[in-house]
Amino acid sequence: AAQKGCEVIGEIALFQRLKGAVPVLAVTGTDGKSTTTTWLAAMCEASGRPTWAGGNLGNPLCESVDELTPEHVVVAEVSCFQLSTAAEFHPQAAIVTNLAPDHLDYYQGSYDAYTNAKARVMANLGVGDSAVLNADDPLLSTWSAPSGATTFWFSR
């Protein structure tokens, strides 16, 4: 399709177009994505906010679109594969747990290509948005949120 000039997008890009004003907390990283996503969703629910968790976690994001209201928050686990087809994806917070060589078969052995895919989670952050990064990770400690967004660090 792309070779014929047709737009090809993935599920999180489609979700971005359909979700309306619902805020999204996006979680990615090599390890800890599911645990972090589940934990964040539980915290949001405990605060009384209607919450929907999904994405790479096993619940496709697009399944939630019809039930979401502006009061909801979506906590989305997003993989490098999903991010590679999501140029317009704009979460309000991007959480990156850690980075280590993974899926290098898909990226023809290039760790840089893998980490660039992961970095796309922050590409569209802007004023009022946040990046939450692992200060203990050698590569992530060199990253920062795009202009206008705020970077928060966590550490052991």
For residues 129 and 57, give the distance between their C-alpha atoms in angstroms, rounded to a whole number.
23
Is residue 103 annotated as a catalytic residue, yes or no?
A: yes
Count Cβ atoms below 10 Å from residue 11 Cβ, excluding itself.
17
Is residue 4 annotated as a catalytic residue, yes or no?
A: no
Region of 53 on the Ramachandran plot (φ > 0 left; ψ -120 to 50 alpha; else beta): beta
Is residue 59 annotated as a catalytic residue, yes or no?
A: no
Strand pairing class (130-134; 93-96): parallel
Q: DSSP letters along 99-140, please?
A: -----TTTTTT-HHHHHHHHHGGGTT--TT-EEEEETTSTTG
From the list 20, 27, 26, the residue with the least C-alpha distance to 71 is 20
Out of 19, 33, 72, 118, the active site residue is 33
Out of 56, 72, 98, 118, the active site residue is 56
Edge-to-edge order in the sheet of strand 93-96: 51-55, 73-77, 24-28, 93-96, 130-134, 150-154
Out of 59, 90, 103, 124, the active site residue is 103
Which residues participate in catalysis according to the annotation? 33, 56, 103
